[in-house]
């Protein structure tokens, strides 16, 4: 199947094509899913190399599960987020958390934003990442999925294997803890200039 | 303004900045993921290759168990020497064998079909 026609195909359809031996389906799925998988792993772990290892492992599991995948039963992204969550929590239990370096947060894509705005966004993103890494694992996971990845609470509940009420509780507590950490940094990060 | 609203107003700009500056994977990661995909796909599409590689592994395992290539060399040398001696025995070997057989009271002209392979085992003991 031509590559152009694959770019519009659903994740499920691409995984079925891959299971049937189409290598181009893997190419499209990799470009579509690996940035999100990596970004989520990075926000959980705060380490670029570890996040890349987790993303690679999660995608490998996806390739292996492809022949048994039942389209329509679960979203591939939901499944991947669950795998990344489990792998990341396992790694965090094995290693001490590490401080995030400025270089680890990638520059946003070139656009109309001024250099000053770009740097400010990067500094804010880094401050948030540092604060996120101080949260308990489950709170961090829930806040990232809800407020950065933009997932709905039922989907987060499915990823984390808990009830929707528990997700709401975790995000509320996580956000209060983040607020406490970040309120003092608002002036230094140029929030007053935005008003 | 409720406590929840206040928290949201403080954090929203941070979340927006994080969404706009998502960390990006290296090009190397895509290459590694695609390499994995190709290995999994190839094993599925050409299972024979996997079977052959497993067979190679069994052969390697056998080699390791008997002592590797030196052991194979020694076994081959012994086998070739045995065949060579069987086909073309040296003169002194025939004499040695003959003297041994005579010493044991065995007539070399006897046929081997007459040899009692159950010496000392009589019909009375077999009958219980």
Q: What is the ipTM of this complex?
A: 0.81
How far apart CA A138 and CA A192 sit, in angstroms, is 32
The DSSP string of A102-158 is GGGSPPPPSSS--HHHHHHHHHHHHHHHHHHTTS-HHHHHHHIIIIIS---HHHHHH
Looking at beta carbons, which residues of chain B come within 8 Å of A121?
A: 17, 20-21
CB spacing of B20 vs A172 below 8 angstroms: no
In 10 A of CB A22, how many CB atoms? 16
Domain annotation for chain A: domains and CATH numbers: 1-97 (1.10.1740.10), 113-190 (1.10.10.10)
Q: What is the mean pLDDT of chain B?
A: 76
B63-B65-B68-B74 Cα dihedral, nearest 10 degrees: -100
The residues near A127 (Cβ < 8 Å, ≥ 6 apart) are A182, A185, A189, B14
Could you read off the pLDDT of A38-86 as tens digits, one per residue?
999 999 999 999 999 999 999 999 999 999 998 888 899 999 999 999 9
Cβ-Cβ pairs closer than 8 A, A with B, add up to: 123
Distance in Å, alpha carbon of B32 to nearest chain A alpha carbon: 7
The token pair at A104 is: 């680890």
Distance in Å, alpha carbon of B33 to nearest chain A alpha carbon: 6
The token pair at A105 is: 């947060």
Ranges of each domain in chain B: 26-66, 69-103
Comparing alpha-carbon positions, the chain A residue that sits nearest to B11 is A179
Identify whether the C-beta of residue A145 lies closer than 8 Å to the C-beta of residue A159. Answer: yes
For residue A100, the 8-state DSSP code is: P
pTM of the predicted structure, to 2 decimals? 0.67
């Amino acid at each position: 199947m031509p590559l152009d026609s694959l770019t519009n195909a659903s994740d499920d359809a691409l995984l079925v094509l891959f299971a049937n031996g189409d290598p181009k389906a893997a190419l499209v799925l990799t470009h579509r899913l690996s940035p999100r998988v990596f970004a989520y792993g990075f926000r959980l772990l705060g380490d670029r190399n570890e996040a890349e290892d987790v993303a690679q492992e999660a995608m490998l599991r996806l390739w292996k599960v492809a022949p048994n995948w039942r389209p329509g039963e679960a979203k591939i992204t939901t499944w991947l987020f669950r795998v990344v969550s489990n792998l990341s929590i396992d790694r965090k239990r094995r290693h001490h958390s590490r401080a995030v370096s400025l270089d680890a947060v990638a520059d946003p894509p070139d656009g109309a934003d001024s250099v000053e705005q770009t740097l400010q966004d990067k500094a804010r993103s880094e401050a948030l990442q540092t604060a996120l890494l101080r949260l308990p694992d489950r709170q961090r996971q829930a806040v990232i999925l809800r407020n950065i990845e933009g997932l709905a609470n039922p989907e987060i509940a499915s990823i984390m294997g808990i009830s929707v009420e528990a997700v709401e509780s975790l995000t509320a507590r996580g956000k209060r803890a983040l607020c406490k950490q970040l309120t003092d940094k608002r002036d230094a990060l140029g929030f007053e200039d935005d008003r | 303004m409720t406590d929840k609203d206040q928290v949201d107003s403080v954090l929203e700009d941070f979340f927006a900045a994080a969404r706009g500056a998502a960390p990006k994977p290296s090009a190397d990661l895509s290459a590694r993921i695609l390499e994995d995909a190709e290995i999994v796909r190839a094993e599925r599409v050409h299972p024979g290759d996997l079977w052959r590689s497993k067979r190679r592994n069994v052969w390697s395992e056998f080699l390791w168990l008997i002592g590797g290539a030196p052991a194979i060399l020694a076994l081959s040398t012994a086998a070739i020497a045995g065949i060579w001696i069987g086909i073309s025995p040296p003169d002194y070997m025939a004499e040695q064998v003959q003297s041994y057989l005579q010493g044991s009271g065995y007539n070399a002209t006897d046929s081997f079909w007459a040899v009692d392979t159950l010496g000392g085992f009589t019909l009375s003991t077999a009958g219980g």
